[in-house]
A and B are shown apart, each in its own frame.
Chain A
């Protein structure tokens, strides 16, 4: 359960993330469908003029459910959410045991509904498969805060907190373009995570789009399973398949441990590697300066913690004090910055161990 993660500094990151999301929101609003009335929504929410948001209020019970913490990023998600809840004396967090079985996760949410919790923060193993039960919760008057993997129906969540998967691909692609843009023949390889997940498709699409801007494309693409073992085995095969590579983007730093192992085993260093998610060990590789890892793209492991914070605000019928508009926004999308040797010192303290 990745007790190794140190994230006491995360509080600093939350206002920054919210401010960034406020900027993004202005761009998003025009795309949003006209907001329909959902229960417990926008009926009596008053604009919070100043930031009394952290002041203790009525006790609220928040149910939290996420997939099994079977790799570092997911472990950090849960521990960050738990730490966030501890910051508020008025929040009682009920953390359901992580599971990769949608059948079981549905039961957990059904249990939260039966208990009548005040809000549910849900990072679904599969967004589409948990949509129906989320709608049940919303219909029971329990606001659902959807984190990371999106539901297939806008009625299923009061608020959605998303990382930027497409943006991750774009950031990675743009960085590689900056490095290799003058070499149209450069060989670029991509190591995906679980290929069946929509987030993987989004990352790959962003990557391909950004590369095409500078006339590059993905020459070799393989998929791992977010695990060290699969990262090692697919990379070993990839390196065998491509005798000469200029750049690799690896979607996930957890599997990156295996990826680096395979690169070391093969004795290859003619290319540079860009990571994904932003783990502490990849950042240390970047910091060291003598690794093939030159950069990694952040995918915040703090988004469920943001979800807890928003769930509390919604349960208290408060707004986000930095915004003029009343209530908590419907969508909050976080940013995917590139970490390089120049700025790694800023990001390393908040990174998760994979």
Chain B
């Protein structure tokens, strides 16, 4: 706890120590990310040794990236939430809700008239709204994030079932399919979307006031308040942002599956949180890394891919996932200790 506060001290005075903080975050972050990259490369080596050409092909790379994209976009939003010291357990359920809502007959009928923007807008709005509701309850209702988003997890799934009438809803809206399915320059469009969200997320966290405030609120909320940051409002925005990324992921899920289902995203919140934490974002708040999150997502997607290629038991995969989570966190504690003292 004490360690945590000392490490966040520079973040509380962003203006004074702006350049120094930026530099040290870069070097510390680089060391941490190097460890992750090494882990990813090691995993790729395992993949190549066990899968050979079936693993190390361009097609397979595309498969891994597609698999990573939906989880990845949600993980970018989750990185902000966890950087503030919070958690969002509702993302999987809200994903299901956004796909269902964006693919109802009424929405698709409207989309026939006004184009795919209706379905996308619907998914984004539903995601954003769910996120903002989380944010309001947490920030202004002073409810612990764990509980507030747990409530949303249950409620969103129920609402999704109600709206879907427990039926899977097929997307047959042509303009939506044309826009979001298939490849662009040989790369699946959902991978492009993932890349865009990553760049936007990185910029937002590392190059804007919003990002600095997010780190400050997570490091020490009281100090952030004294420094003039409207902490409650900022928290609400951060959960709203996470909801928005879930909306984007909902669009991607619709593109990938061509169907909205209330079972979409079941238990996905755990994968998302695991990727963010493995990526090096502190669960206690005050430190977040977008690059780390991306590598974290890629590590899990690659792991899943290796298991698929070698037809290994998925129960063993879960054990491996657990080991990676623990290993990565232990490793990061080792690496981040010297970087703090410097």
The answer to whether A and B belong to the same complex is: yes
Q: Does A126 contact B (CB under 8 A)?
A: yes
The chain B residue with its CB closest to the CB of A129 is: B257
20 pairs of residues in contact across A and B, judged by CB atoms under 8 Å: A96-B311, A97-B308, A100-B266, A102-B257, A102-B264, A104-B67, A106-B256, A107-B308, A108-B308, A111-B54, A111-B309, A115-B54, A128-B169, A129-B264, A131-B259, A152-B258, A195-B161, A196-B167, A198-B168, A201-B166
Interface string of A150-161 (1 = CB under 8 A from B): 001000000000
- Given the contacts A97-B312, A104-B304, A128 and B257 also touching, CB distance less than 8 Å: yes
Chain A, range 245-269, C-beta contacts under 8 Å to B: none
What is the CA–CA distance of A104 and B63 in the complex, to the nearest angstrom? 10
Number of A residues whose C-beta is below 8 Å from B? Answer: 33
Interface string of B299-339 (1 = CB under 8 A from A): 00000110111011110010000000000000000000000
- A104-B308, A110-B59, A128-B258 known; 17 new pairs, CB 8 Å cut-off, are A68-B314, A97-B317, A98-B314, A103-B71, A104-B67, A111-B309, A114-B57, A114-B63, A115-B54, A126-B257, A126-B259, A128-B169, A128-B170, A152-B258, A195-B161, A196-B167, A196-B168
- Given the contacts A97-B308, A201-B167, A129 and B258 also touching, CB distance less than 8 Å: yes
What is the CA–CA distance of A68 and B317 in the complex, to the nearest angstrom? 13
Chain B, range 42-68, C-beta contacts under 8 Å to A: 54, 57, 59-60, 63, 66-67
B312 with A152: CB separation less than 8 A:
no
The chain B residue with its CB closest to the CB of A113 is: B59
* Shortest CB distance B99–A (Å): 10
Q: Does B261 contact A (CB under 8 A)?
A: yes
B311 with A107: CB separation less than 8 A:
no
* Shortest CB distance A254–B (Å): 18
Q: Does A321 contact B (CB under 8 A)?
A: no
What is the CA–CA distance of A103 and B262 in the complex, to the nearest angstrom? 14
Q: Does B36 contact A (CB under 8 A)?
A: no
The chain A residue with its CB closest to the CB of B62 is: A110
A111 with B257: CB separation less than 8 A:
no
What is the CA–CA distance of A109 and B195 in the complex, to the nearest angstrom? 24
B181 with A132: CB separation less than 8 A:
yes
The chain B residue with its CB closest to the CB of A200 is: B166
The chain B residue with its CB closest to the CB of A97 is: B314
Interface string of B264-284 (1 = CB under 8 A from A): 101000000000000000000
Q: Does A99 contact B (CB under 8 A)?
A: yes
Q: Does B70 contact A (CB under 8 A)?
A: yes
What is the CA–CA distance of A192 and B321 in the complex, to the nearest angstrom? 34
- Given the contacts A94-B311, A104-B308, A128 and B67 also touching, CB distance less than 8 Å: no
**How many contacts between A and B, using CB within 8 angstroms?**
97
B257 with A195: CB separation less than 8 A:
no
Interface string of A109-140 (1 = CB under 8 A from B): 01100110000000000111111100000000
B259 with A196: CB separation less than 8 A:
no
Q: Which A residues touch B263, using CB under 8 A? A: 126, 196
Chain A, range 44-65, C-beta contacts under 8 Å to B: none
Interface string of A189-205 (1 = CB under 8 A from B): 00000011110110000
B256 with A103: CB separation less than 8 A:
yes
Q: Does B82 contact A (CB under 8 A)?
A: no
What is the CA–CA distance of A126 and B307 in the complex, to the nearest angstrom? 21
Chain B, range 156-173, C-beta contacts under 8 Å to A: 161, 164, 166-170
What is the CA–CA distance of A162 and B235 in the complex, to the nearest angstrom? 51
The chain A residue with its CB closest to the CB of B312 is: A97
A129 with B308: CB separation less than 8 A:
no
**A residues bordering B, Cβ < 8 Å?**
68, 94-104, 106-108, 110-111, 114-115, 126-132, 152, 195-198, 200-201
What is the CA–CA distance of A108 and B314 in the complex, to the nearest angstrom? 13
Q: Which A residues touch B166, using CB under 8 A? A: 195-197, 200-201
B57 with A130: CB separation less than 8 A:
no
Q: Which B residues touch A99, using CB under 8 A? A: 314
What is the CA–CA distance of A114 and B54 in the complex, to the nearest angstrom? 8
B63 partner, pick from A94, A107, A132, beta carbons under 8 A: A107
Q: Which A residues touch B259, using CB under 8 A? A: 126, 128-129, 131, 152
What is the CA–CA distance of A131 and B308 in the complex, to the nearest angstrom? 20
Output the residue of A97, A100, A104, A110 with the most chain B CB within 10 A: A97
Q: Which B residues touch A132, using CB under 8 A? A: 181, 256-258
- Given the contacts A114-B57, A115-B54, A128-B261, A196 and B256 also touching, CB distance less than 8 Å: no
Q: List the 8 closest A-B pairs by CB distance, nearest first.
A: A129-B257, A128-B259, A196-B166, A128-B168, A114-B59, A132-B258, A152-B170, A129-B259
B63 with A97: CB separation less than 8 A:
no
What is the CA–CA distance of A6 and B215 in the complex, to the nearest angstrom? 59
A106 with B308: CB separation less than 8 A:
no
B312 with A103: CB separation less than 8 A:
no
* Shortest CB distance A278–B (Å): 25
A196 partner, pick from B164, B181, B305, beta carbons under 8 A: B164
B256 with A111: CB separation less than 8 A:
no
What is the CA–CA distance of A128 and B259 in the complex, to the nearest angstrom? 6
A131 with B314: CB separation less than 8 A:
no
Q: Which A residues touch B67, using CB under 8 A? A: 103-104, 107
Q: Which B residues touch A97, using CB under 8 A? A: 307-308, 311-314, 317
Output the residue of A96, A104, A195, A196 with the most chain B CB within 10 A: A196
- Given the contacts A196-B261, A196-B262, A129 and B168 also touching, CB distance less than 8 Å: yes
Q: Which A residues touch B256, using CB under 8 A? A: 103, 106, 132
Output the residue of A68, A126, A200 with the most chain B CB within 10 A: A126
- Given the contacts A196-B164, A198-B167, A107 and B66 also touching, CB distance less than 8 Å: yes
Q: Which A residues touch B257, using CB under 8 A? A: 102, 106, 126, 128-130, 132
The chain B residue with its CB closest to the CB of A1 is: B313
Interface string of B194-236 (1 = CB under 8 A from A): 0000000000000000000000000000000000000000000
What is the CA–CA distance of A4 and B154 in the complex, to the nearest angstrom? 36
